[in-house]
Amino acid sequence: MALLNFKKRATETEVTVNPEVEAFLKDYSIEVMPRTAQKVEDFRELLPAGTRVYIAHIEGTPIEDMVATAKRLNDAGFPVMPHFPARIIKDEATLADWIARYQGEADVKQALMLAGGVAKPHGAFDSSMQLLETGLFDKAGFTNLHVAGHPEGNKDIDPDGSMKNVSEALQWKQKFSERTDAKMALATQFAFEAKPIIAWANGLKEAGVDLPIHIGIAGPAKLQTLIKFAIACGVGPSLKVLQKRAMDVTKLMLPYEPTDVLTELAAHKAANPDFNITNVHFFPLGGIKTNATWAINNGGESARPAQQQG
């Protein structure tokens, strides 16, 4: 393997930046919740200008808190993409009200639609496809509509462990994207192993699904924290990467960092420019500041915080 021409970025300490990882991290996005966003005094000290920020809508979170968080981020210069979890939305009137609030108070023009981690729907909707079929997002002029992707499947959708229902849903979403003007993409669950992610992404393209993929990556976190979240979120076979690490007493107390998985994905992208993974989407499970600092140290100039950019 040819030696990469690494360069150093000046921070408090000298940090080596892999140019392939730097390119791969350009235009990354990050996910927050209203309660985690409250812990950040100024996002401009952490995130590059124009970073897309997803706002996760957890069951029980008041829409007022979601909209207030969206407004704060939008006012700071960050395009906001709130979650619309189908199973916690009571009916079409509620959906229309949420869209109107986001637009009127926070100038939101994009949305991530997903079923949501609720076993029993609260009302009329069960899937993101039903939300899309209402036509309300198109009527409101939303420019970006993202939907969920599952590199390791989803036991809630396919209890038998197959990918049958997930694959059928992706084919429907692909056809929907072909008949709408909205820019659509897949935002995925996080995983920890690059080779299966690459195989999954290539398989989608072979099946005729060419939606851009924003690959979910868990940010730096304590190993115990990460394992807890991974199990709760239904992460599949790549969980063994964490379990193997947990068995190594020399690594057990060290925080996990996504360096290995991102380095391998970035190298594949550099060698295959038409690879359909186009962006990285971070889940900051160890904290927003911790994740943003890691991105700054590994993402080079494009990851510099907004307040440091000229």
233-284 per-position pLDDT tens digit: 666 665 666 666 655 545 555 678 999 999 999 999 999 999 999 999 999 9
Please state the φ and ψ torsions of residue 46, each to the nearest 5 degrees.
-120, -35
- Residue 172 has a pLDDT of 92
Contacts of 107 (CB under 8 A, 6+ apart): 74
Q: Can you name the CATH fold of 9-308? A: TIM Barrel (3.20.20)
Cβ neighbourhood burial of 15 (10 Å; 0-12, 13-18, 19+): middle
Counting DSSP H helices and E strands in the chain, the numbers are 12, 10
Q: pLDDT tier at 302 (50, 70, 90 boundaries)?
A: confident
Domain spans of the chain, in order of start: 9-308
Q: pLDDT tier at 118 (50, 70, 90 boundaries)?
A: confident
> pTM above 0.85?
yes
Question: 213-218 and 14-17: which strand pairing?
Answer: unpaired
Q: Residue 98 corresponds to which tokens in the numbers above?
A: 């949420």
Contact (CB, 8 A) for 43 and 53: yes
Q: pLDDT tier at 24 (50, 70, 90 boundaries)?
A: very high
- Residue 120 has a pLDDT of 86
- Residue 255 has a pLDDT of 79
d(CA 117, CA 54): 16
Which residue bears the tokens 């429907």?
A: 172
159-186 per-position pLDDT tens digit: 666 677 888 989 999 999 998 888 999 9
Lowest mean pLDDT segment, chosen from 144-153, 250-259, 296-305? 250-259
